């Protein structure tokens, strides 16, 4: 049994996996660990693997994409599972393996990818930038956001923010890694505690005004809202504190509408355009008045 200690990122896994595969090491002879101390409890062997040169090993590009995204997950079994599928795809001779969504290993990796993909999507959606100032030299506005992803997705989601917000300076802070953009390049720094980011913006109030007024109290569907915007995100969303009140008032507001006296139709005001419309409607050929046949 060999123990491989890696930094928990895709590149580190790929380098080790490449060497192991070149040596032909079967997956059940490798123990993967992200923690050097923990790993030494299990084995006294030298975890270092000698680099081996040989024929490059070909794997489907789709697998590399999967591996990159699964690597951002936090399940500690992912390194071993990724190596097992890599081995099966190559030395194991199961070249078609990725076409088999019914395979347990493939399924497991796909589920990690799905969870990571969803986390990235929610980060794109729920990051809220706060204006902190204007760069005196460049005149660019500077924004800072705080986000709490479930997985290690800051690098995977950064290019979206770079493309979308090229014209402003921004930083996205999380507890394990931060991304910064200055108009030229993105760089990454270590994580920071939540208190490092501002928790409000002068525009939040106007945004809440919008949120409140776009809500229709006659069709409350709380579970639909919560399945897409789970409560864990609420604490960083400026609009979330309004939710309880909007729900509580909705029944009363609908009752008010039902009790409002109905208004009669009002005749058309004097207006050239309206007159033209009414004339056109009257002269419309009768076949246009028939309802479409199902």
Among 1, 136, 190, 258, binds another protein (CB under 8 A): 258
What ranges in 90-228 are assigned the alpha helix state H? 104-126, 154-164, 204-214, 222-228
- 75 by DSSP, 3-state: which? coil
Q: Is 162 in the site for another protein (CB under 8 A)?
A: yes
Among 68, 78, 84, 128, binds another protein (CB under 8 A): 128
Q: Is 214 in the site for another protein (CB under 8 A)?
A: yes
Of residues 135 through 154, those in contact with another protein by CB under 8 A are: 141, 143, 145
Sequence-ordered list of residues with C-beta below 8 angstroms from that of 166, at least 6 positions apart, any chain = 181, 183
Minimum CB–partner distance for residue 262 and another protein (Å) = 4
CA 23/CA 116 separation, integer angstroms: 31
Q: Which is nearer to another protein, 54 or 167 (CB)?
A: 167
Contact (CB, 8 A) for 154 and 188: yes
Contact (CB, 8 A) for 133 and 142: yes
Contact (CB, 8 A) for 3 and 45: yes
Of residues 23 through 82, those in contact with another protein by CB under 8 A are: none
- Give the helix/strand (H/E) hosting 190: strand 186-190
Q: Is 260 in the site for another protein (CB under 8 A)?
A: yes
CA 8/CA 187 separation, integer angstroms: 19
Among 164, 187, 232, 235, binds another protein (CB under 8 A): 164
Calculate helix-pair angle for 78-89, 10-23, nearest 10 degrees: 40
- 116 by DSSP, 3-state: which? helix
- From the list 4-12, 32-40, 60-68, 129-137, the region that binds another protein by CB under 8 A is 129-137
Strands 2-5 and 30-33: parallel
Q: Is 168 in the site for another protein (CB under 8 A)?
A: yes
Among 57, 206, 232, 235, binds another protein (CB under 8 A): 206
Among 118, 224, 232, 235, binds another protein (CB under 8 A): 224
Among 129, 146, 151, 181, binds another protein (CB under 8 A): 129
Q: Is 263 in the site for another protein (CB under 8 A)?
A: yes
User: How many chain residues are in contact with another protein, going by CB under 8 A?
Assistant: 88
Q: Is 83 in the site for another protein (CB under 8 A)?
A: no
Q: Which is nearer to another protein, 58 or 289 (CB)?
A: 289
Sequence-ordered list of residues with C-beta below 8 angstroms from that of 203, at least 6 positions apart, any chain = 131
Among 37, 55, 102, 185, binds another protein (CB under 8 A): 102
Q: Is 283 in the site for another protein (CB under 8 A)?
A: no
Q: Which is nearer to another protein, 64 or 274 (CB)?
A: 274
Q: Is 186 in the site for another protein (CB under 8 A)?
A: no
Q: Is 290 in the site for another protein (CB under 8 A)?
A: yes
Q: What is the chain's Cα-based Rg? A: 29
Q: Residue 227: left if φ>0, alpha if ψ -120 to 50, beta else—which one?
A: alpha
């Amino acid at each position: 049994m060999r123990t491989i200690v890696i930094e928990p990122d895709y590149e580190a896994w790929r380098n080790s996996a490449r060497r192991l595969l070149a040596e032909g090491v079967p997956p059940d002879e490798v123990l993967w660990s992200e923690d050097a101390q923990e790993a030494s409890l299990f084995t006294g062997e030298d975890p270092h693997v000698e680099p081996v040169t040989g024929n490059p090993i070909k794997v489907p590009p789709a697998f590399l994409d999967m591996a990159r995204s699964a690597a951002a997950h936090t399940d500690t079994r992912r390194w071993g599972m990724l190596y097992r599928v890599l081995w099966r795809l190559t030395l194991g001779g199961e070249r078609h393996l990725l076409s088999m969504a019914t395979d347990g290993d493939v399924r497991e990796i796909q589920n990690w990818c799905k969870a990571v993909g969803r986390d990235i999507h929610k980060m794109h959606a729920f990051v809220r930038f706060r204006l902190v100032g204007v760069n005196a030299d460049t005149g660019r506005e500077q924004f800072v956001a705080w986000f709490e992803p479930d997985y290690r997705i800051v690098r995977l989601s950064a290019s979206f923010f770079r493309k979308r917000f090229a014209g402003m300076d921004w930083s996205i802070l999380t507890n394990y890694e931060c991304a910064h953009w200055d108009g030229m390049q993105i760089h990454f720094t270590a994580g920071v505690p939540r208190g490092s980011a501002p928790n409000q913006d002068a525009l939040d109030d106007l945004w809440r005004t919008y949120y409140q007024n776009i809500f229709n109290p006659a069709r409350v569907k709380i579970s639909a809202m919560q399945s897409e915007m789970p409560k864990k995100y609420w604490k960083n969303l400026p609009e979330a504190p309004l939710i309880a009140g909007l729900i509580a008032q909705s029944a009363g507001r609908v009752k008010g509408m039902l009790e409002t006296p109905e208004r009669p139709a009002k005749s058309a005001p004097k207006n050239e355009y309206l007159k033209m419309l009414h004339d056109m409607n009257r002269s419309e050929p009768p076949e246009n008045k028939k309802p479409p046949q199902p």
